[in-house]
Chains A and B, each alone.
Chain A
Amino acid sequence: AQSVTQLGSHVSVSEGALVLLRCNYSSSVPPYLFWYVQYPNQGLQLLLKYTTGATLVKGINGFEAEFKKSETSFHLTKPSAHMSDAAEYFCAVRGSNFGNEKLTFGTGTRLTIIP
């Protein structure tokens, strides 16, 4: 079974500041990890994903995340926040093997950008 914990339901950062959204996971098998973004009244858009290989993953809109197995974490970062980054962000996990394909989401982090 897999689960995700997102620390901080609301995060506020100033425009131009570092964005850090935290995600910790639990998985009984090697995980696949995802970050999705949801803008108001829209569906979820994939930002980035980790499956295998390089543990630092780069995504769209300047975001990146690092898979740290020892810390069971997959935190999302962006060096410089932009007003357009204001949205809700969801971390998700699934197993990497047959029988563990179900995607399990965290409760989300709402990111606010302060002008």
Chain B
Amino acid sequence: EAGVAQSPRYKIIEKRQSVAFWCNPISGHATLYWYQQILGQGPKLLIQFQNNGVVDDSQLPKDRFSAERLKGVDSTLKIQPAKLEDSAVYLCASSLDDFGTQYFGPGTRLLVL
């Protein structure tokens, strides 16, 4: 069974630029999560989708971050404009439903200069 796929794996941008990350969850998983993991910290949930609807985006900085999950499968997370403090690993995870075990992708490591 294929795992959660993410791209790109690494991205370096300058502050005020925009960037987008892509995630393809495990087939059949209705719930998709985006986490931000700052160096030295545990992952922090940014947004949770159930199919193509948002369940929880309470910790998403909505002035610069946006996410969508069209057709309830793939998802993209965008940052515009990026700040230095956005440097982190962005992890995508999926689960069968909102109570299922979460399976994580390899992450996208973002460096903002």
Hey, which bits of chain A sit against chain B, CB under 8 A?
4, 9, 34, 36, 41-46, 49, 90, 92, 101-103, 105-108
A102-B56, A105-B42, A107-B42 known; A44+B99 contact, CB < 8 A: no
A59: min CB distance to chain B, Å: 12
Contact assessment for B101 and A43 in the assembled complex, using a CB-CB cutoff below 8 Å: no
Contact assessment for A107 and B41 in the assembled complex, using a CB-CB cutoff below 8 Å: yes
Residues on the B chain within 8 Å of A92, using CB: 42
B103 within 8 A of A: yes
B59 closest partner in A (C-beta): A102
A90-B43, A102-B45, A102-B56 known; A49+B101 contact, CB < 8 A: yes
Number of interface residues, chain B, beta carbon within 8 A: 22
B14-22, B72-80, B104-112 - the one binding chain A: B104-112
A43-B106, A43-B107 known; A108+B42 contact, CB < 8 A: yes
Contact assessment for A90 and B42 in the assembled complex, using a CB-CB cutoff below 8 Å: yes
Q: Which 3 A-B pairs have the closest CB atoms?
A: A105-B42, A43-B104, A44-B104
Contact assessment for A46 and B107 in the assembled complex, using a CB-CB cutoff below 8 Å: no
A43-B4, A101-B99 known; A106+B42 contact, CB < 8 A: yes
List the count of A-B residue pairs having beta carbons below 8 Å apart.
45
A105-B42, A106-B42, A107-B41 known; A45+B104 contact, CB < 8 A: yes
A1: min CB distance to chain B, Å: 12
> Which B70-113 residues sit within 8 Å CB-CB of chain A?
91, 93, 98-99, 101-107, 109
B40 within 8 A of A: yes
Alpha-carbon distance A90/B105, docked complex (angstroms): 16
B45 closest partner in A (C-beta): A102
Alpha-carbon distance A103/B35, docked complex (angstroms): 10
A42-B107, A43-B106, A46-B103 known; A101+B98 contact, CB < 8 A: yes
A44-B91, A49-B101, A101-B98 known; A108+B41 contact, CB < 8 A: yes
